[in-house]
Structures are given as structure tokens and as C-alpha cells.
Amino acid sequence: MPAPDSTRVRAERLEKLRAAMARHQVDAFIVPSADPHLSEYLPGRWKGREWLSGFTGSVGTFIATQDFAGVWTDGRYYTQAENELAGTDVRLMKIPSGASLLHIDWLADTLDAGRTVAVDARVLGLAVARLLGDALAARGIQLRTDLDLLDEIWDDRPGLPPEPVYEHVAPFAVLDRADKLHATRNAMAKLGAERHFISTLDDIAYLFNLRGADVSFNPVFLAHALVEAMGATLFVADGKIDASLRARLEQDGVRVAPYEGAQQALAALPPDSTLLVDSRRITAGMRAAVPAHVRVVEAINPTTLAKSRKLDTEMDHVRDTMEQDGAALCEFFAWLEQTLADTTRTPLNEVHIDDRITAARARRPHFVSPSFGTIAGFNANGAIMHYRASEENCAVIEGDGLLLIDSGGQYLGGTTDITRVVPVGTPSSAQKRDFTLVLKGMIALSVARFPRGTKGPMLDALARAPIWAAGIDYGHGTGHGVGYFLNVHEGPQVISPSAPPEPHTAMEPGMITSNEPGIYRPGQWGIRIENLVLTRSVADEGFGEFLGFETLTLCPIDTRCIDLSLMRGDEVAWLNDYHRSVRARLLPHVTGAARDWLELRTKEI
């Protein structure tokens, strides 16, 4: 429940928003969870939805009218949103799986013809803008995209982040910048385009071998890019690129220009231009800047496909990173078990988990930062899929139950993401049953074999089948792509029932994807077991190339939570083989209590 001051402040902000809406004759105002780059994690300047509503989840859309305010979000955030919106006039609008645009239908059904809806086109995705415009026009409702009402009412709105940009260099940067630009231009030429505009931050960081710290947990920086046949322009705020780096960029034909100049550059394109854009990765505001005389080709960013398919040398670095990350986890879990066993200790809470697991990773070579905010949820908090503990709301870890820990690290040689569940005290038979069902689902996807070209969403049911067989389901996708010292969530592949099985979602060799089924019982416990897996070629017996997964993550799965009566022999064999590999690869990196813990938790069952 929010504090009274917090609730009052939010009410005052909403009142100011409604006053601004009245001044501009706007009947409904939309605040998406987005920035001009359509990022998942936002710099403070574009956290308008959070500023107005108090809901801090990474996915959600805020809409206000003069007599209504609501946040649309999906099942991963229901419990969190209910807690954070409690005591306010902002309603939680639940989005069923696969219905992320439900707020558009609500607007079309709720507003009368002649009304006006406003949204800032600079943070509205082009594909969504088209759907929104069509739905409202069909009901005679006007759409305005030229207003940023937040600027009118947010007096202390943050500015652009000032952190410097730096290079991702060899040996971890395997391809140099010139090679990546050459490959991008070849892809542009195949699509008939001599210019390509990019706004997505991870695509830009990948293409130019640059990294930054403008967005929490993701080593990216705010920029746009225009790639042309004979050069490229990087639009980035003044002062973020020093003279030495600017000179190296210029040697590769990359000109640095002011961040605010991207729209003007698009508006100045010559009449005979052909421009490639990705309609799902560019805002409506940027698209509107392109003159009508420019021919526009719409296709997925070539860099989105290229960066998803890691090179063999990159994978060598990732495997080394997984060993270092696994060793850090051994150190952490050894400390955790010793601490929980000490009855004289100060009570341990969920916040301590984040502190200790990050400290363990920070002692490892080439560690940069966490790859997302650690989720450490004990018992009922583990059932909140994107729970984040704070000193004000965290649970003390004591008694009997399950502790879910989802964490990850950014290293120069790769990005990690892992979830483990450990018992505290004695787990119940019902908890062991749920844990075992989740483990069976994770194993089922781990051992899958499928023809090359299989769409990622088609694989989701493999992990759910053992869980479905018990009449249980979970409200999130089973897998997301993972970057190479880039975003912990990246496309184009996804293993989820709510994602359309489009051509670019096909699994390809070199893709790193999470494998993370779960079971969540609100108010009781949550279980998720997550490994990262690499897609690779495994067979060709005359029926075409078949792909499978190599498990990358190296950390024991707690066998104390398993109900062996539910496990088949081949599943037990997989787990024992996995633990043998974990033990063999991590033993050289650990000593003392961490080594003892590793040997204990990888014993055969």
C-alpha cells in the first residue's frame, strides 16, 4: 500500500494532467511505456507512466480521461500493480495473454465520435500508431500526436543521461565496426535501399561496437543512426563521445552529430532516396519526419537478425562468462546456506540477496553490472513474477518455504540470466510437486530437436506440456532472446504462446534464448527454473537440418526440492549429466566453502 504522501502527490499530478488536457481540448491522453527508441527499460526522462500512476513495472500503458485513469498491463504484473495502485484512483486494467493492444479497443469502445485522443508520437511505435489511428478513425475519433503534455506538468522532469559512450573492443568485440557496417549495407542493397535509419539502442550499440550506461542494466546509450552507402551518422548528445573515440569513428566513416538532429536529417533526405526502416522499431514521430518524396522500404533491421546469431568466437567468450558467473553463484549459494543455518544470525531478508549476489559477481573478471534488477522472492513474494524487494516491503527469510532468485550479470564477454529456487527449512510435498513439474518442463525444452526454420513460439508447448498435464499453466512466455553484452531481452526469437509465429521468429544457429517455465500460486509460492540455451545444428539425416539446444548456464538445480516419484529415468539422467558438466567446469574456479557447496549440490540422484 503506498504511503499517504505518495498517494496525494499522484492525485495532484493527475489533476495537473487533466487541467492540461482541458486546455488542449483533449478527451483522453495516452502514456506508453516507451522512449524515442522504444526501449524496454527507460531513462528517467521517459518514465511518465510511472510518474503519473506509481506503477513501476516495465510493461504497461497509462490512459487518463476527465473521469477515469487506468494502467493496462499483463499477468506478470497483476499482483505488483494491485499493490502499487492501491489507495489511488488509478485502476488496474488486466491484459489477457496475447492482447497487448487491448487499450486501443477500450478507447474505441468508450469514447464517443468527435472526441480527441492525444499521445506523443515521439514515444509511440509506428506499428502501434497505425493500429491506434485506424481503430479511432473507424469510430470518428480524432488522434493527435503532436502533444507532450508531460513537459507541461512535470516541473522537475529529468534531462538526457550524461554518461559517456565507450568502445566494446577486442578480444570481446569479434567483428570490427567496418565489417558490421559492410554487412549492413549488403543487407540494405538486397532490399533496394541505399539508406537505413535505426533507433533501437541495442542495434546501434551492436553495429558501432559501442556501449554506454544510459539505461539501467543494459549497456546502451541514447542515439539514432543513419547508415548510407558511403558513410554513417551517429546522432548522440554532446559530450558523450570524447575526441579520441570520435576520431576512431571518423576513420570508419562514421560522423557524430547532435542527438536532436535526427529528425532534421530525415526531413532533409533528397527526393531520389530509398530509406529502410523497421516499422516495429521506429516511432511514429520519426517516420512522420520522412518526406513524402522518399521511397520507404519496411523490413526488420538487418542488425536485429545479425546480432541474434552469435559467432563461434563470441560463443567461446560466452562459455567462459558462464563459468565465471557460475563460480560467483557457487560462492553466493554457499554463503546463503551457511547464513540460513546459523540460528544466531541477524534475520536475513530479500534485499540482502541482491546485495550479496551482485557482490559475488563483481569479484569476477570482466563483470560490468547486473543485467536486470535481481528478483528475490520468498514464499508469497516468489509468486509475483517481476517482484522487486525494497527495505520497505521485503520479507524476512525464515521458517519453511521456497526462495526464488532470478538474477543476471553483464560481462564484457556475454550477458547472463538465471533463476533458481532453493528450499528454506523443509519444503512441503505440494511445493516439491510444483518444483518437479517445472523441472520436467525445462528439461523437455532442453532436449528438444526441431527442423531448422521452426518458429520460436511453436516450441512453447514443449515446456508447458508436463505442467499442463497437471492442469496448471503460467502467465509468461517460456523464452526470450539474450544479447552478447547487450540487452538481457532481445529479439527477434521468442518462445511464447502470445507471439505470432512470423518468419523472423525462426530459431537459428547461434541464438541464445532463455528456457524458463514456472508455476505461481498467488499468496503461497512461486517456482521458476531458468537456464540459457544456445541453438545449434545437431543432425541432418536426409530430412533437412535439425537444430537443438546446448545448455549454457552452469549452476546446480536444487535436488532437495524434487519429488523423484514424478521423474522419468531419462529426466533423472539429464539432470545427473547436467550436474556432472557443471561440477567439471566450475571446480577450477572455486575454492573453500564454494567448492564444498558445488560438490554437495551436484551429487547424483
Condensed to tens digits (0 to 9), the pLDDT of residues 212-233 reads 999 989 999 999 999 999 999 9
Domains and CATH numbers, the chain: 4-153 (3.40.350.10), 166-307 (3.40.350.10), 309-601 (3.90.230.10)
- Cβ density class 559-593: b for 16+ within 10 Å, e for less: bebbbeebbeeebbebbeebbeebbeebbebbeee
343 vs 130, which has greater pLDDT?
A: 130
* Integer Cα distance of 437 and 207 in angstroms: 41
Q: Are 390 and 349 in contact (CB under 8 A)?
A: no
* Integer Cα distance of 478 and 419 in angstroms: 13
- pLDDT attached to residue 326: 98
Least confident of 37-41, 205-209, 234-238: 37-41
Least confident of 6-15, 187-196, 507-516, 519-528: 6-15
pLDDT at residue 8 tops 80? yes
- pLDDT attached to residue 7: 84
* Integer Cα distance of 226 and 273 in angstroms: 13
Q: Are 371 and 410 in contact (CB under 8 A)?
A: yes
Length of the chain: 605
Q: What are phi and psi of 508, to 5 degrees?
A: -130, 150
Terminal C-alpha separation, the chain: 44
67-103 tens-digit pLDDT: 999 999 987 788 888 888 988 999 999 988 655 688 9
* Integer Cα distance of 221 and 94 in angstroms: 32
Residue 574's pLDDT band (cuts 50, 70, 90): very high
Residue written as cell 515446456? 463
pLDDT at residue 345 tops 90? no
- Determine the average pLDDT of the residues in 423-439: 97
Residue 4's pLDDT band (cuts 50, 70, 90): very low
156-165 tens-digit pLDDT: 999 999 999 9
CA atoms within 13 A on the CB side of 300: 14
- Determine the average pLDDT of the residues in 162-172: 96
pLDDT at residue 263 tops 70? yes
* Integer Cα distance of 568 and 582 in angstroms: 21
Q: Are 26 and 117 in contact (CB under 8 A)?
A: yes
- Determine the average pLDDT of the residues in 335-356: 90
540 vs 319, which has greater pLDDT?
A: 319
pLDDT at residue 174 tops 60? yes
- Determine the average pLDDT of the residues in 425-438: 97
Among 126, 120, 118, smallest CA distance to 287 is for 126
Residue 181's pLDDT band (cuts 50, 70, 90): very high
Q: Which three cell numbers stand for residue 29?
A: 491522453
Q: What is the mean pLDDT of the chain?
A: 94
Among 428, 405, 399, smallest CA distance to 350 is for 405
> How is 182-245 classified by DSSP, letter by letter?
HHHHHHHHHTT-SEEEE--HHHHHHHHTEE--SBTTB-----EEEEETTEEEEE--TTSS-HHH
Q: What percentage of the chain exceeds 90 in pLDDT?
A: 87
Least confident of 389-393, 504-508, 530-534: 389-393
Cis before residue 423, ω within 30 degrees of 0?
A: no
* Integer Cα distance of 17 and 24 in angstroms: 11
- pLDDT attached to residue 100: 66
Question: 3-class SS at 127?
Answer: helix
- pLDDT attached to residue 98: 55
* Integer Cα distance of 317 and 335 in angstroms: 27
Integer CA distances (angstroms), 180 to 187, 307, 489, in order: 11, 10, 21
pLDDT at residue 3 tops 60? no
Residue 2's pLDDT band (cuts 50, 70, 90): very low
pLDDT at residue 1 tops 60? no
* Integer Cα distance of 385 and 476 in angstroms: 9
Whole-structure pTM value: 0.93
- pLDDT attached to residue 390: 80
- Determine the average pLDDT of the residues in 328-356: 92
Secondary structure in 3-state letters for 78-89: HHHHHHHHCCCC
Q: Are 123 and 103 in contact (CB under 8 A)?
A: no
- Identity of residue 231: G
Least confident of 86-95, 210-219, 251-260, 341-350: 341-350
Among 313, 567, 560, 597, smallest CA distance to 442 is for 567
* Integer Cα distance of 584 and 586 in angstroms: 6
